[in-house]
């Protein structure tokens, strides 16, 4: 895409969004599957997804987004959530899609949730990093954010960055930046792989499993366009990686015996 076309697209996006405060789920999202397992309450201020023996559920945004800072507050499935997966992600359409993933893997009561992150560009992903949260994400709502601009993608939890994926097009690593994406979320059963590689199965006596959402916000102001990681956030990112990262594809020698992907030399 040429620079002139890119500039037009950016201006169109910013003009459409402006600065958006907390969104209304009735106005911003459609519940797309689940046969009544997804519900909106409180005049559009609260959304819940449910999973039982019969079905999971999911929703998607009515709008598409190209860059911005996107916040959502989630309260994850409580108690024994082993086997369940709550996904919250952005994705474009087509065979060479772009995607930015938060995926929450349930666990036995008292054991930490695993937060799985991934970035797809032009249909290629395999860039997984996983973390254990430093709090119980089922007791209260916490804010999960994606900052997405032409220079970087930053995943944050309660304002603390947990991952940065930088623009490394100069060394041949594409960054999602040309395809608008919708916001999606879903709750489903994945006990064939989600918890300890599928060793722990879903306990259906705990159903229904419920994930709750509130305070959706998209910041379409220009402040995010050139936003970088300042020294404070670099220190926070280092703290998370040192103390809470449990998997990094860039250190998985068994998976990449012929050498790591190009971006691993920098990230």
pTM: 0.91
146 vs 102: CA distance, rounded Å: 9
Evaluate whether residue 12 is within a structural domain: no
Evaluate whether residue 199 is within a structural domain: yes
Number of neighbouring beta carbons within 10 Å of residue 128: 17
Evaluate whether residue 137 is within a structural domain: yes
Evaluate whether residue 9 is within a structural domain: no
Q: Which pLDDT does position 221 carry in this prediction? A: 78
Q: Which pLDDT does position 6 carry in this prediction? A: 31
Domain limits at 152?
Answer: 29-262
Which parts of the chain have pLDDT scores under 50? 1-18, 21
Evaluate whether residue 221 is within a structural domain: yes
Q: Which pLDDT does position 225 carry in this prediction? A: 80
Residue 80 tokens read as: 């024994």
226 Cα distance to chain centroid: 21
**Three-state secondary structure string covering the chain:** CCHHHHHHHHHHHHHHHCECCCCCHHHHEEEEECCCCEEEEHHHCEEEEEECCCCCEEEEECCCECCEEEEEEEECCCCCCCCEEEEEEEECCCCCCCEEEEEEECCCCCCCCEEEEEEEECCECCCCEEEECCCCCCCCCEEEEEEEECCEEEEEECCEEEEEEECEHHHCECCCCCCCEEEEEEEEECCCCCCHHHCCCCCHHHCCEEEEEEEEEEECCHHHCCCCCCHHHHHHHHHHHHHHEEEEHHHCCCCCCCCCCHHHHCC
Evaluate whether residue 42 is within a structural domain: yes
CATH of the domain at 51: 2.60.120.200
For residue 215, give Cα distances in angstroms to 61, 74, 80, 102, 148: 14, 9, 26, 17, 19
Domain count of the chain? 1
Sequence-distant (≥ 6) Cβ neighbours of residue 202 within 8 angstroms: 82, 83, 84, 189, 191
> For 33-85, what is each residue's pLDDT tens digit?
999 999 999 999 999 999 999 999 999 999 999 999 999 999 999 999 999 99
Q: Which pLDDT does position 22 carry in this prediction? A: 64
Q: Which pLDDT does position 19 carry in this prediction? A: 52
User: For all residues of the chain together, what is the average pLDDT?
Assistant: 90
Evaluate whether residue 15 is within a structural domain: no
Residue 75 tokens read as: 């309260």
Evaluate whether residue 206 is within a structural domain: yes
């Amino acid at each position: 895409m040429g620079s002139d076309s890119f500039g037009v697209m950016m201006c169109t996006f910013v003009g459409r969004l402006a600065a958006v405060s907390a969104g209304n789920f009735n106005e911003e999202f459609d519940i797309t599957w689940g046969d009544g397992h997804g519900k909106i309450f409180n005049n559009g201020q609260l959304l819940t997804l449910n999973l039982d023996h019969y079905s999971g559920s999911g929703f998607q945004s009515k709008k598409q987004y190209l860059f911005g800072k996107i916040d959502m507050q989630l309260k994850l499935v409580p108690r024994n959530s082993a086997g369940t997966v709550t996904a919250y992600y952005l994705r474009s359409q087509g065979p060479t899609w772009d995607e930015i993933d938060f995926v929450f893997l349930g666990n036995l009561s008292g054991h930490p949730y695993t937060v799985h992150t991934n970035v797809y560009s032009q249909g290629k992903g395999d860039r997984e990093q996983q973390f254990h949260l430093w709090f119980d994400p089922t007791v209260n709502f916490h804010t999960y954010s994606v900052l997405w601009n032409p220079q970087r993608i930053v995943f944050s939890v309660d304002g603390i960055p947990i991952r940065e994926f930088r623009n490394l097009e100069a060394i041949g690593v594409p960054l999602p930046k040309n395809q608008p994406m919708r916001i999606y979320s879903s709750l489903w059963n994945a006990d064939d792989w989600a918890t300890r590689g599928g060793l722990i199965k879903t306990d259906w006596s705990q159903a229904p499993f419920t994930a709750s959402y509130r305070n959706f916000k998209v910041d379409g102001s220009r402040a995010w366009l050139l936003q970088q990681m300042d020294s404070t956030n670099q220190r926070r990112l280092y703290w998370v990686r040192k103390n809470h990262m449990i998997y990094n594809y860039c250190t998985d020698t068994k998976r990449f015996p012929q050498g790591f992907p190009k971006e691993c030399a920098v990230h």
